[in-house]
Amino acid sequence: MTALVKAKPEVGLWMERAPVPEIGPDDVLIRIRKTGICGTDVHIWNWDDWAQRTVPVPLITGHEFAGEIVDMGRNVEGLEIGQRCSGEGHLIGKKSRQSRAGKFHLDPQTRGIGVNEPGAFAEYLRLPAFNVVPLPDAIDDEIGAILDPLGNAVHTALSFDLVGEDVLITGAGPIGIMAAAVARHVGARHVVITDVNQDRLDLAARVTDVVPVNVAQQDLREVEGALRMKEGFDVGLEMSGSQAALDQMVENLVMGGRIALLGIPPGKSPVDWSRIVFKAITLKGVYGREIFETWYKMIAMLENGLDVRGVITHRFPVSDYVEAFETMRSGQSGKVVLDWT
Bridge partners of residue 27, in order along the sequence:
128
Across the chain, which distance is largest between two alpha carbons, in Å?
A: 62
For residue 195, pLDDT over 90 is answered with: yes
Q: What is the pLDDT of residue 266?
A: 81
Q: What pLDDT digit, counting tens, does each position of 215-238 carry?
A: 999 999 999 999 999 899 999 999
Q: Which amino acid type is present at position 5?
A: V
Q: What is the pLDDT of residue 269?
A: 84
Burial (0-12, 13-18, 19+ Cβ within 10 Å), 7 = middle
Mean pLDDT, residues 132-143: 97
**Residue spans of alpha helices (H) in the chain:** 39-46, 49-54, 97-100, 141-144, 147-157, 174-185, 198-207, 220-226, 243-251, 273-278, 293-303, 321-329
For residue 267, pLDDT over 90 is answered with: no
Q: What is the pLDDT of residue 230?
A: 86
Q: Does the active-site annotation cover 282?
A: no
Between strands 90-91 and 111-112, the pairing is antiparallel
Q: What pLDDT digit, counting tens, does each position of 105-132 carry?
A: 999 999 999 999 999 999 999 999 999 9
What predicted TM-score, i.e. pTM, was given to this entire model? 0.95
Q: What is the pLDDT of residue 185?
A: 98
Calpha distance 321→155 (Å, rounded):
29
Q: Does the active-site annotation cover 43?
A: yes
Provide the percentage of residues in the chain whose pLDDT is more than 70. Answer: 100
Mean pLDDT, residues 250-276: 93
Q: What is the pLDDT of residue 86?
A: 98
Q: What is the DSSP string of 190-257?
A: EEEEEES-HHHHHHHHHHSS-EEEETTTS-HHHHHHHTT-SS-EEEEEE-S--HHHHHHHHHTEEEEE
CATH topology agreement for domains 2-146+308-339 and 153-285: no
- As a whole number, the mean pLDDT across the chain is 96
Q: What is the pLDDT of residue 176?
A: 98
Q: What is the pLDDT of residue 92?
A: 96
Extents of the domains making up the chain: 2-146+308-339, 153-285
Catalytic annotation, pick one of 40, 110, 156, 170: 40
- Identify the CATH assignment for 153-285 out of 3.40.50.1000, 1.10.10.10, 3.40.50.300, 3.40.50.720: 3.40.50.720
Name which CATH class applies to 2-146+308-339. alpha beta
For residue 137, pLDDT over 90 is answered with: yes
Catalytic annotation, pick one of 2, 43, 282, 327: 43
